[in-house]
Every structure is written in C-alpha cells, then in structure tokens.
Structure 1
Amino acid sequence: MSLLLEVLQIVAPVFFLAAIGFAWVKAGFEYRVQFVTRLAMTLSVPCLIFVALVETEIDPKALRDTAIATLVAYSVLGAVLFGICRLARLDVRTFWAPLTFGNTGNLGLPLALFAFGSEGFGFAVVIFAIMAVLSFTIGIYAVSGGGSLMNVVKEPIVGATLLGGVFLVMDWSLPQWSMNTLDLIGQIAIPLMLITLGVAISRLQPGAVLRASVLSVVKLVLCFAIAYWAGLQFGLGPVALAVLVLQVSTPVAVTSYMLAEKYEADSTEVAGLVVVSTLLCVFAIPVILALFV
C-alpha cells in the first residue's frame, strides 16, 4: 500500500495539471496552444535545460554513459519500428516518427522530477535534449520527406543543450542573479507543458481506435524492453536506468499530431495514437515507476 501511495503521489500532479487544461477548454475558455507552445519551446524549456545542465551535480561520466545509451536505444528502437511499419504496410511518414519519439518533454520531464528528484531530472534533461535533436532532424525528415541541418541549428533547445553541456564540462557558471532569472523562466515550462497537453488532447478527434490500440501496446513493450536493455549494456546506475526507461516509454507526443498536420501526413491516425497511448500510460507509468521506485 505504501508503494502504491508513493507512486500515486508522483503521477497525480502530472495528470491533475493535464486535467486542468482539458477542463479549461471544455468549459469554453480560450487557450492559444500555438502561442503557449512557442513560448515554452523557444524560451522556457531552453532556460530549463541550460540551468539543469549547469547546476547538475551528477558525475559527467554518468551523464555521458546515459547520453550514449539514449542514442543506442533510439537507434535500435527506430530500426525495429521501421521494420514493423514495412512489414505491416503502414505509411512510414505517418507512423514511424510518432511511434519512435515519445512525449519526453511534457510528460517525461515532470515525472522524472517528481519521482527521482534533481538527480533524475538531470538525467531526464539529457535524454530529452537528445530526443529533441533526433526528432527535429530524422523525425521531421521522415514526416516531411526532406529536411535541413539549418532547421536544427536554429532550434533554441539545441543551442541551450550545447551551451549547457559546455558550461558543465568546463565547470563554468553565470552570476547568481542571471542564473536566478533563467531558473525562474524555466520553472514555468513544466506546468505550461502539462496544461497544454491536456488542452491539446481535449481538441483531438481520434479515428482507427483498434489499430491505435495495438500500435500503442507494441510501442510501449518495445520502448520498455529496448531502453532497459540499452541501460544495462552501458552499466547505468539505478536512477539513470529508471529515467531512461521512463523517458523512452512515454506516449506519443501531441507535437507529432501537429507535425502530421503541417506536413500532410495522416493526422487522424496520429491523433488516435496520441489519445490511446496517453490513456494507456495512465495505467502503464505507475507500473513502470513501481518497478524502480
């Protein structure tokens, strides 16, 4: 019973904040997702990542091993899912990127923070940053049928990650007043992202529920198994291993639906994946946390 209560205390803030966003829209209030998303991804999340990297007290070797394990996990996962898409005759442009890259930002970061504290959050930021770079390059290339390296360079998240990494390796810092300012800006990221997640889900109208259900279960099983295997291969510590599994196993991100709309993939199919995989995580994430907490 104590383990159940501990897990519920971890996941409850996440789902309650998302529920606020869901209820906000259902009550008829205005919520400009595009503006809030741009604010978070352009300003708040980069500040969050930079401060987390600069102030982390995690051993650099542990962060390096986690980064390598993350790259290996996503590489293997992407290859396996590509094969499944081909064998099942699923449209790669529609299904591959959403199934490969989960909601490590809106959902994974706060879960890691609530479950494993500042240490877990440090690992989660590294994993999220790597996923973001892969998603903005290979992911967009897959959805759109083309891409440009300049699009990656222009992303504030990428710049904040690289700059934070340099500060971490060189053991640099900024004046305390500037770090406090960046920290304050970064603090709005997690509640904003969770509320926006609830808003976005409330506006989705999914189709093909049966196929979305099967693919969501396949995604969850593969993500858990491959992330766990990669973590063991590189000898990650208990917290790093738990965060890697948690982050990689997050459900399909709402941004995948937005990208499908933008690049004219089958957005209805992606919407179904978002809703079903997110509902599945309501039951799956407490189980995953119970294995590691």
Structure 2
Amino acid sequence: MLSQVVSILFPVFALAFVGYCVGRWVKPDFGPINHLNMEIFIPALVFASLGAMPLEMEQAPLLIASFIAVFLPGLLMIPLSRIFNLRYRVWAPLQMFRNSGNLAIPLFTYTFGDIALAPAVLLFVVSSCAHICIGQAILSQSNPIKQVISSPMVLAALAALILNVSGIGLWEPLYEASYLLGQAAIPVMLISLGAQMCNLRLDGLKVGISCSLLSLFTGAITFTIVYFLVPLPTMHVQMLLLFTMLPPAVMNYMLAERFNMEPDKVAAMVLLSNFFSIATLPIILMVTLSLT
C-alpha cells in the first residue's frame, strides 16, 4: 500500500524538485508563466474534462455530496479562523479545494479500477469549477463578480457544459487539441510551486504541519455529515472519504500568487501537506477499504 501511494506522489515531488532547481539556479520570472497557465492551459484542461464527461441522473447524489465536500470546509473555517487567529482568505481555500486532479484521479483508479474513472472526473470538475468561481471570489480584493465572469476558466467550463448537455458534444480534433494543451497545466503548476519553495523559511514547516492537521480535521467532519445526509453506493462513499481527506490542490498556490495572498506560506502548506500525505494516505486507505 505504501509503495502504491509513493508511486502516485513521486511524479508530483519530482516535478516540484525540478522547479526548485530551476528557481535556485536559473531564477526565471515565473509571473508570466503562471499567468499563461491560468489563462490558457488550465482552461483547456477544464474544457476537455467537462466536455467529455458523461452526465447522467445516477450521478446526482455524488454531485450533491461533492458540493457539500467542497463548500462545508469553507463554512467550518469561519469560526476556526477566529479561534486560531488565522487569515480566512489564506487558509479557507486550502481546506475547500483539495488535490482532486493529479493525486485523486490516479489514486481512485488504482484503488477501485477503471470503473472509478467517471466519478473521479466528476469530483475533479466540481472542485475545479468551484475553485475557479468561489476561490477567486474569496481571494480577490477587487470586484469578485467581474473576476469570475471574465475568467477564461469559467468561460471554458460554461462552453463545455453547453456542448455536453445539448448533445452536440466536442468535435474530436477540438477535444484532442484542448486535451493536449491542458496536459501542460499540471507540470507547469508543479514546477512553479517548486521554484517558490526557494523562498521557504523555517516557519514553513510549522504552517505545513498545521495545514495538514487542519485538513484532516475539517475533512473528517465533512465526510461524517456527507455520510449521514447523502445516500451513496459503497464505492462512492469510499471515494468521498478519500476526497474529503486529500491535501490541498496545487492551484491554491497559483491563485495565492496571482492575488498576492501570502504565496510563500501557501506554497509551504501545499507542498508539505502533500508530502505528509505519504504517511496519512495509507491509513486513510485502510479505513476506506474497510467500509462496506
């Protein structure tokens, strides 16, 4: 089990290490690169994923559960931020938007087989679209509605959804082009994240541990509520347990860097929380597989 988790996480840290080396010795300006990723690569990934995803009524309970799993931690962070004197705009997105893409999708398929691919993509798309809309609204200090409406990611999601629901579907060459372009998003995110780690200081370890523990706490509460409120088949229950306990998504750093919301601290929390998941995921997987 541990070797399986390590094999999933290794590519993440390998690319982050490449980014660290680039940032330390080459020292490029990642501002334009991150902007290009947010405006082109990630919208292409969302467009291809949402446009090709099958939409069926049987997925409605999982859809409801995914919305609860994303938004409830944000509500939990309102009192927790006051109790622990945390900056809500910095800490709340890390609890709401977890690593549902490059970590969760392979984790789900390796654990449950190819039958888990469709619900895994659904969870990823819900989390990504919510991150695009709500995440930017939380972080933005300007007009959040304008930020959302003008976002290429939102426009890409709406276009793909219209094509999907209408039955028109994606033209195969357009899908292939979007999919190919979108594949650049995750490597660019990880390399940029690794480069940001050049600015990590000793206090980064403290916030990384704090974020990991907080993620487990808010995730456990969220899963408990989903478990008792939403009737789901066994595999979906197991997937939701994993989904609610995932570490933060890399895109949290991208948006924190874009809106200047303590990007150094967010980078530490994202990378270290994902690193600590090497220890926590095997335990969570054992609990998950025991659910019947």
Aligned to 2:93: 97
Tell me, yes or no, if the aligned pair for 2:69 and 2:226 is still in contact at 8 Å. yes
Q: What is the CA distance between 1:241 and its match in structure 2?
A: 3.5
Q: Quote the Cα distance in structure 2 between the aligned partners of 1:175 and 1:110.
A: 26
Tell me whether 1:47 sits opposite 2:44 in the alignment: yes
Which one of 212, 215, 219 corresponds to residue 219 of structure 1? Answer: 215
1:61 aligns with 2:57: yes
Seen in structure 2, the aligned counterparts of structure 1 residues 64 and 29 have a Cα distance that, compared at 3 Å, is: farther
Report the residue type matching 2:154 in the other structure.
Answer: V
Contact (CA 8 Å) 2:49, 2:125: kept in 1 or not?
no
Unaligned runs of 5+ in 1: none
Give the equivalent residue in structure 1 for 2:71. Answer: 75
Query: 81-90 vs 128-137, which deviates more?
Result: 128-137
Indicate the residue corresponding to 1:274 in structure 2. 270
Higher deviation after alignment, 153-162 or 186-195: 186-195
Q: Which moved more, 1:72-81 or 1:229-238?
A: 229-238
Percent identity over the alignment is 25
Separation in 2, partners of 1:117, 1:38: 36
Deviations 1:142-172 (A, max 9, x none): 3444532121122232223233333333333
Shift in CA distance, 242/168, structure 1 to aligned 2, threshold 3 Å: farther
Identify the residue that residue 163 of structure 1 maps to in structure 2: 159
Question: What aligned pairs does 1:222-237 form with structure 2 within 5 A after superposition?
Answer: 222-227=218-223, 229-230=225-226, 233-237=229-233
Whether contact under 8 Å (2:90, 2:266) holds in the other structure is: yes
Counterpart check, 1:16 vs 2:11: yes
The CA deviation at 1:277 is 1.6
Tell me if structure 2 keeps the 8 A contact 1:22–1:201: no
**Residue 138 (structure 2) aligned to one of 142, 160, 164:** 142
Alpha-carbon offset, residue 113 of structure 1: 5.2
1:89–1:61 CA distance, 2 compared to 1 (3 A): same
Q: Structure 2 CA distance, aligned partners of 1:152 and 1:41?
A: 13
1 CA distance for matches of 2:287 and 2:275?
20
State the one-letter code of the partner of 1:96. Answer: A
The answer to whether structure 1 residue 288 and structure 2 residue 284 are counterparts is: yes
Q: CA deviation at 1:22?
A: 0.5
Quickly say closer, same or farther: Cα 1:251–1:230, change in 2 above 3 A: same
Deviations for 1:60-108, whole angstroms, at most 9, x for unmatched residues?
1243322221222233221112111112222323323333333334534
SS at match of 2:123: helix
Does the Cα contact within 8 Å between 1:106 and 1:194 map onto a contact in 2? no
RMSD: 3.5
Normalising by structure 1, report the TM-score: 0.77
- Secondary structure of the residue aligned to 2:66 is helix
CA contact (8 A) 1:54 1:164 kept: yes
Structure 1 residue identity aligned to 2:179: D
**Alpha-carbon contact 2:19-2:190 (below 8 Å) kept:** no
C-alpha separation between the residues in 2 aligned to 1:224 and 1:142?
23
Is contact 2:16-2:194 (8 Å) kept?
yes
